[in-house]
């Protein structure tokens, strides 16, 4: 049974977490589904933006399903659960389309890390953010100490990860983590997403790459992607390919 749905009707796609009985906590299957959806979206030229949301209004995502990772050996926990989750969330963060997380409920642990992997976030006024891992004897493993350190001030991150304090929606907006606090975050996210229709999809993609490179989000790949795009449009690239195909020396013009 699928627990992560992708709806790509129209230019705005929607990824929905559908595990409300467990507060949308992530299972290994859900990680695989999310990764597959990201790959699909990166190749969907008709999609201009992506909204990430969840079923139910109690929790956007309560993190990782403890029954999925608790039985794992230390080796499997580190090598598979943590590294695979990190890879999938990185895949979401580096999606070529702009992404908006609609937090209808609380985002704890991996749920907060998931929201952080999106470009902007809209929160319900009653939603809160937390990193409760230390209270069950573990540490954040899906970028909670890494990506979040670029989005939140260090004292605030320590307040959450070390002292277990929750951040409410109003404070999250004041810190710049939430773009907006709304009665219905999904409606607000859809309204924000309509603004994407007024911009060039390619310009948005390149701007996202530039911002990510500046803040160290996969900087090497972002810089090389930008360089590849620049050289790919040149006459020299076309000449080089033609010369290789025709088994002759290229005559580069510098244009």
117 contact partners, CB below 8 Å, separation of at least 6: 89, 90, 92, 93, 99, 143, 147
Euclidean distance between the first and the last CA atom of the chain, given in angstroms as a whole number: 53
Quickly list H helices, 43-101: 66-69, 74-76, 83-93
Catalytic residue among 113, 159, 224, 239: 113
**Distances from the Cα of 218 to the Cαs of 10, 57, 91, 152, 244, in angstroms?**
29, 33, 10, 19, 32
The DSSP annotation for 110-162 comes to: HHHHHHHTSSEEEEETT-EEE--GGGGT----SSTTTHHHHHS-HHHHHHHHT
> Can you tell me whether residue 99 is helix, strand or coil?
strand
Instruction: Based on the residue annotation, tell me whether 224 is a catalytic residue of this protein.
Output: no
- Token pair for residue 158? 């320590």
20 CB-near residues (< 8 Å, 6+ apart): 54, 55, 56, 58
Torsion of CA 79, 82, 86, 87, to 10 degrees: 30
Q: Which of 33, 46, 55, 133 is catalytic?
A: 133
**Catalytic annotation on 113?**
yes
Spatial distance between the Cα atoms of 52 and 157, rounded to a whole number of angstroms? 23
- Residues with catalytic roles: 113, 133
């Amino acid at each position: 049974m699928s627990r992560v749905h992708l709806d790509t009707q129209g230019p705005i796609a929607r990824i929905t977490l559908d595990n409300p009985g467990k507060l949308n906590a992530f299972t290994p299957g859900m990680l695989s589904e999310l990764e597959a959806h990201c790959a699909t979206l990166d190749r969907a030229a008709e999609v201009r933006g992506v909204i990430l949301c969840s079923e139910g209004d109690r929790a956007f995502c309560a993190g990782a399903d403890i029954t999925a990772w608790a039985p794992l050996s230390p080796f499997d926990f580190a090598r598979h659960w943590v590294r695979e989750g990190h890879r999938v969330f990185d895949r979401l963060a580096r999606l070529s389309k702009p992404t908006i997380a609609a937090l209808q409920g609380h985002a704890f642990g991996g749920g907060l890390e998931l929201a952080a992997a999106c470009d902007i976030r809209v929160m319900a006024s009653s939603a809160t953010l937390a990193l409760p891992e230390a209270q069950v004897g573990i540490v954040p493993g899906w970028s909670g100490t890494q990506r979040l350190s670029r989005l939140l001030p260090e004292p605030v991150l320590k307040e959450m990860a070390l002292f277990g304090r929750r951040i409410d929606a109003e404070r999250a907006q004041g810190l710049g983590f939430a773009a907006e606090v709304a009665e219905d975050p999904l409606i607000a996210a859809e309204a924000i997403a309509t603004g994407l229709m007024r911009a060039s999809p390619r310009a948005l993609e390149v701007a996202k790459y530039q911002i990510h490179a500046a803040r160290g989000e996969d900087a090497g790949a972002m810089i090389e992607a930008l360089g590849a795009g620049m050289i790919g449009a040149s006459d020299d690239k076309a000449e080089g390919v033609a010369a290789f195909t025709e088994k002759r020396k290229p005559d580069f013009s510098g244009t």
